[in-house]
Structure 1
Amino acid sequence: MPANGTGSRRYHAGVNRTVREGLRVTAKQGAPGVGGAPRLSELMPWSVPPLRLGRSWVRAPDAATLRARWKALVDAEDAAVRARLFRPSRARTPDSAVGQLPGQTTPTGPLSRAGGPCPEPVPVLHGPFDRQWLLPDHRLIDAARPELWRVAGERQLFAVELGLVPQSPGPAVVCSDLLPDGHSPAGRPGRIRPLYRRPGGAEPNLTPGLPELLARRLDRPVAPTDLLAWITATARHSPDGAAVPLTADPALWDRGVALGERLLWLHTRGRYASRHARGCPAGERPRMPGGRRPYVRAPLPARGLPDSLAYEAEEETLLLGGARIAPVPRGAWEFAAGGVRVLEAWFAQRGATAPGTEAADAGALAALRPAGWPQEWTSELLELLTVLALVAELRPDADRLAGEVAAGPQVGGAELRAAGVLPAPDAARRPASVLDHHEEGPNGQFALL
């Protein structure tokens, strides 16, 4: 029988209930400590809070919808209508004039006096695993975190530390090659930590002296990507931030880095070039072995959007309304991150009852959505199912590694402090000065950084 059918309202009610129940458990029992393991905030000192959009219509699961919303905004000739569509906030109104986001070429004059073509949507990571699109216009976003855009690029990787949701399974850290918005499905904010502090993969965002100390203890070079791979494989939730146990066993380190690199390859959909893990060719998208690859068995309708998501465990079949996709391993269906099932969160943004479909939103830009299910969403879903299934298969390896690291020699917080690696200097917790490119300020003025 189908299980766990969901729409947007039921989904969000479940998220809120999960958070409330988890908070009650933590208050009564207290949260478990994590030995002497250093925190991620100590190893990667510079972090940025999640983006605060201020208006939901500037992000969408497809780029065509964003272009349609922009056209509806700039075609509104009446100032009051344009303001209502824009949805002003304390940080942004149609009269706001702000500088460009780094790397973008959007106008900087007030929207109330401007029109023009739609800013080219850019792909972003929404939440832990959902790849969506964003209008990269600083006039539209309350807090776009320019410091993140300034260091984004081909060599950059981002570690997204997910907020703790007590008694909820899932990774503590998810990595991305796309700029992440830091959204937490269950409403518990985390942090975004770029691997590099400057464009072009320069100056690792690692506490000074850490790679050198680990290299001495492990008798092998420790590259910034090695540390990020280790973090991805071993980070665990704790009440005061993700904890990262550091082994002093060279063999365990090598295993953890190889496991983490495979996870990085999966998190980035094959875009990360692995140096140590086998079967992770750079530029090749992850695929399930033949016979296990999910296929569309019954197609999605050409018109309209499905209003429910369910799973048939015996048949390993995912149901989107009347559509059927199989085989879908149970591990992919049950995979949770940030306090919710990833597939339910993904569908909640795209189904018939997604945000913006309420009667109160009629006439709002968020209500502009595809009339039918785009083919690109099917391709994205098949890729997401593959990634979640393959990540879920690695969980036993990660659990075994965690047990062996806990039982073996470690480089703990006390040793890091004795060596002068911790605490990280204040300068390492602030963004680096980036002075090698032009940025346009409000109303076309030159921006001083």
Structure 2
Amino acid sequence: MDPVRPAGRTGGGRRYHAGVNRSVREGLRVTAKQDAPRLSDLMPWSVAPLRLGRSWVRSPDPAALRARWRALVAAEDTAARERLFRPSRARTLYSAVGQLPGQRTATGRLYRADGPCPEPVRIQHGPFDQQWLLPDHRLIDAARPELWRVADARQLYAVEPGRLPQPSGPAVVCAALLPDGRSPAGRPGRIHPLYRRPGGREPNLAPGLLALLARRLDRPVDPAELLAWVAASARHSPDGAVVPLTADAGVWTRGVALGERLLWLYTRGAYVPGDGPPEGCAGPGGRPRMPGGRRPYVRAALPSRGLPRTLAYDPADEALLLGDGGRISPVPQGAWDFSAGGVRVLADWFAGRTGEAEDGTATPPEAGSLAALGPADWPREWTSELLELITVLALMAELAPEQAELAAAAAAAPQLPAVELRAAGVLPPPSSARRPASVLDHHEEGPDGQFALV
């Protein structure tokens, strides 16, 4: 219906329509701030977190996984093997399943398995931990094969943590390793691969999004740049992560540069920014390292026997205290306070190796279970991993003010709200964009050695 024009004034219609246009423009500016598109629309294909079904198939120590496999196949009879395996509705010793894509594991029924241990693979566990997994489809309730099909050296992932009543930490975390999607607290999130096919082919983006951004910004935009923008600008909302999109080329360039540094930190140097790692912050292999004089070191060695039972922080000395005597410093307050998925990252990392929670409670594995087979002493590798994690968190905490400044600059600049993306036909994405792409260039072994063509 046409708007009713005020009567009784010459030129009132023109003035009225000018006022309407101003109101529309002002309304769009308000909408732009409140109607940021959701990550789930910008990167339409997403995968649910892995559902292991049994905790013993994952560990921070690969030697523990091999010991657990040996104990399983050495069980004296099928009943003993079943008690160790822990059957579920999805997996039993008699389940017939194929290989996980890209993995060379046996496919015979587990009740008669006697071969070597499947080679453990490194995965991203939760927002910031890196652990090991037995990539055997017979052992995992829901391994998400579609995720493994597109996992390679070119792939990157945006992971939406589970929703929390009071969100804390990043709204989106990124990874180069295949993520399990675990959320330490809250409901499970979603895993968004950047590419729908191996080799960095077919970006997992709403069709037309990159072209629209390129027109509005007057510069080409590639998929990795968009992911960098997501890393720098995504924020929590009741409907999941949202990503404000700027139409200002200067703000975009600034946000991409910040996001590339965040991607470098998230991936522990596996992703290299276009202009290289930040000067003074890259160690051997381009991995993150604090500048000289600020690097954390082991000031007092951890006990040579047993695992530390407590983790504490001394803010006066910027020291992380592990057990009865272990001491690492300097550890900036920002690294100690860093939270993700509703929990303190360093405390969650420590609990994943010792079973000791920050509140003093302990959750030791059941005696006689496969999960109970693990390191009795603190491995040297864990200390190196802890030092790197402290470095990553410290450097990320230092970027928080820059992220806040970017958010303010993006809010003040012209934006591309969801309403404009819908008007341009970018949103909603077609239903086909929410499904995995077919991968027809390789065979996968099915149950009991049969071949399955995907």
Q: TM-score, normalised by structure 2?
A: 0.89
| 2:417 corresponds to 1:391 | no
Q: Which residue does the alignment assign to 2:448?
A: 443
Q: For the residues of structure 2 that align with 1:187 and 1:408, how far apart are their CA atoms?
A: 33
Q: Which residue does the alignment assign to 2:203?
A: 204
Q: 2:292 aligns with which of 290, 303, 306?
A: 290
Q: For the residues of structure 2 that align with 1:315 and 1:101, how far apart are their CA atoms?
A: 48
Q: 2:425 aligns with which of 420, 424, 428?
A: 420
Q: Which runs of 5+ in 1 are unaligned?
A: 1-32
State the Cα deviation string for residues 351-399 of structure 1 (Å, max 9, x = none).
2548xx8677100000111010000000000000000000010000001
Q: For the residues of structure 2 that align with 1:448 and 1:275, how far apart are their CA atoms?
A: 38
Q: Which residue does the alignment assign to 1:307?
A: 309
Q: Which residue does the alignment assign to 1:248?
A: 247
The alignment partner of 2:298 has SS state of strand
Q: For the residues of structure 2 that align with 1:441 and 1:176, how far apart are their CA atoms?
A: 29
- Please list, as runs of the form range in 1=range in 2, the aligned pairs for 1:73-222 lying within 5 A after superposition: 73-222=72-221
The alignment partner of 2:289 has SS state of coil
Residue 448 (structure 1) shift: 3.0
In the alignment of these two chains, the number of paired residues is 415
Residue 446 (structure 1) shift: 1.2
Residue 277 (structure 1) shift: 6.5
State the Cα deviation string for residues 40-84 of structure 1 (Å, max 9, x = none).
011000000000000000000010110011111011121111000
Q: 2:371 aligns with which of 363, 366, 387?
A: 366
If asked which structure has higher relative contact order (CA below 8 Å, sep 6+), I would say 1
- Whose Rg is larger? 2
The alignment partner of 2:122 has SS state of strand
Q: Does the 8 A contact of 1:265 with 1:271 survive in 2?
A: yes
Q: Which residue does the alignment assign to 1:405?
A: 410
Identity of aligned residues (%): 73
Q: Does the 8 A contact of 1:258 with 1:276 survive in 2?
A: no
Q: For the residues of structure 2 that align with 1:180 and 1:36, how far apart are their CA atoms?
A: 29
Residue 283 (structure 1) shift: 4.1
Letter in 1 for 2:102: G
Residue 278 (structure 1) shift: 5.8
Q: Which runs of 5+ in 2 are unaligned?
A: 1-31
Q: For the residues of structure 2 that align with 1:96 and 1:279, how far apart are their CA atoms?
A: 49
The alignment partner of 1:439 has SS state of strand
Q: Which residue does the alignment assign to 1:349?
A: 352
Question: In angstroms, what is the RMSD of aligned CA positions?
Answer: 1.5
Letter in 2 for 1:388: L
Q: For the residues of structure 1 that align with 2:93 and 2:182, how far apart are their CA atoms?
A: 25
State the Cα deviation string for residues 309-338 of structure 1 (Å, max 9, x = none).
000001100011020000000000000000
Q: For the residues of structure 2 that align with 1:326 and 1:253, how far apart are their CA atoms?
A: 37
Q: For the residues of structure 1 that align with 2:369 and 2:219, how far apart are their CA atoms?
A: 57
Q: Does the 8 A contact of 1:262 with 1:277 survive in 2?
A: no
The alignment partner of 1:345 has SS state of helix
The alignment partner of 2:123 has SS state of strand
